[in-house]
Amino acid sequence: MLSTRGVGGVVLALTLVLNGLAAVTDAYAQTQGSDRRQDRRDDRQNARDTRQTGREDARDAKAECKAGDEKTRAECRQEKRDTKQDARGSAREQKKD
């Protein structure tokens, strides 16, 4: 028969084993969640960078358009809008992937 001291040791050992298993599963779950969150952050940052590049390209295109005399101001504005809209579409595609 187990003494009180022996039962306490068994209970302590089981407690340590179960706590160790719980800690391993929690750590694994947090790592997966952290990876997914980091992936989403990276996707959002890449989309922001794409939109910013689109804005800069649109500014440059409008400046070039205004410098030339072949298009009206309205046509230059529309060209800028189209360039920015294309950049937004590219950013949305990056976030979906």
Q: What is the pLDDT of residue 81?
A: 95
* pTM to 2 decimal places: 0.59
Kindly state the average pLDDT of the residues 81-88. 94
Rounded distance between C-alpha atoms, residue 26 and residue 20, angstroms: 10
Structure confidence by residue, pLDDT tens digits, 9-40: 666 676 766 666 555 554 455 788 899 999 99
Structure confidence by residue, pLDDT tens digits, 48-66: 999 999 999 999 999 999 9
Kindly state the average pLDDT of the residues 80-88. 94
